[in-house]
């Protein structure tokens, strides 16, 4: 292994439903193709606009439980009756290679991952107001109205989690929110803790 390699970074994005983190991370990946996205496993049915292996790895419950029991997930959670899990192998390999990895996790997933990986940086994406949140959930049209209502109630509770995150970003204008997250990533990527011991001595003094 190359000991003089920079440590990888885990950037965890969470938000209440309708906070807009999906748009934020998609735009980040478009602007910074070097960033890696951690594609989760889920038992949720595929939506029309989703691609298996890109949005998620879609598994049935039996397959998911098998992988979970085999310890393949760094964290997993049940969200709205479906299972979601982060592939441990992908995270560990990407970290070792010094990659910047984006993860889209719910609140429990963000907390669980941070406990295991000290390099995890957590960012909470908030909508600018309750009115906007409500509008976004209704406009989504990917879920039925009952699901939207349930998600709004849940979202209101989730907003209270903001102090548990390293950073908070308000997603009013997408461009600004993306720039804010990119700035966080830039600063974190220059944090001295990312550099291995004697990194600069080895680089300059030998
Ligand atoms: P959706 O079904 O709308 O794509 O996602 C529902 C929720 O599951 C979102 O809050 C999303 O962040 C979360 N989620 C997606 N992948 C994972 C994962 O691997 N682990 C955890 N804990 N949550 C996830």
Residue-wise pLDDT tens digits, 33-92? 999 999 999 999 999 989 999 999 999 999 999 999 999 999 999 988 999 999 999 999
Residues of the chain below pLDDT 50: 1
- pLDDT of the residue at 40: 98
d(CA 127, CA 132) in angstroms, rounded, equals: 7
Domain chopping of the chain, boundaries: 9-38+100-204
- Reported in sequence order, the residue ranges of the chain that DSSP labels E, i.e. its strands, are 9-14, 36-37, 41-42, 57-58, 73-79, 82-87, 100-104, 120-126, 167-170
Residue with tokens 């292996």: 53
Whether 117 and 10 have beta carbons less than 8 Å apart is answered as: yes
* Alpha carbon of 64 to ligand 1 centroid (Å): 14
* Alpha carbon of 105 to ligand 1 centroid (Å): 5
Query: For residue 141, which phi and psi values (nearest 5 degrees)?
Result: 60, 10
Atom 22, ligand 1: residue with shortest CA distance: 109
Query: For residue 169, which phi and psi values (nearest 5 degrees)?
Result: -125, 130
Record the pTM. Answer: 0.92
- pLDDT of the residue at 161: 94
Q: Residue 21 half-sphere exposure, CB side, CA atoms within 13 Å?
A: 20
Q: Note the CATH architecture for domain 9-38+100-204.
A: 3-Layer(aba) Sandwich (3.40)
């Amino acid at each position: 292994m190359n000991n003089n390699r920079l440590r990888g970074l885990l950037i965890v994005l969470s938000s209440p439903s309708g906070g807009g983190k999906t748009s934020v991370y998609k735009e980040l990946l478009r602007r910074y193709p070097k960033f890696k996205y951690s594609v989760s496993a889920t038992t949720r049915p595929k939506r029309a606009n989703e691609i298996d292996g890109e949005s998620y790895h879609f598994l049935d419950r039996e397959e998911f439980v098998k992988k979970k029991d085999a310890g393949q997930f760094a964290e997993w959670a049940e969200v709205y009756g479906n299972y979601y899990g982060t592939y441990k192998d992908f995270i560990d390999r990407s970290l070792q290679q010094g990659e910047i990895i984006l993860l889209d996790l719910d609140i429990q997933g963000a907390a669980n991952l941070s406990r295991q990986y000290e390099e995890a940086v957590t960012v909470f994406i908030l909508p600018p107001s309750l009115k906007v949140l409500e509008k976004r959930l209704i406009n989504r049209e990917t879920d039925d109205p009952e699901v939207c209502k349930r998600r709004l109630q849940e979202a209101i509770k989730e907003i209270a989690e903001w102090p548990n995150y390293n950073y908070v970003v308000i997603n009013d204008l997408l461009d600004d929110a993306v720039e804010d997250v990119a700035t966080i990533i830039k600063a974190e990527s220059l944090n001295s803790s990312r550099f291995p011991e004697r990194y600069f001595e080895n680089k300059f003094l030998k």
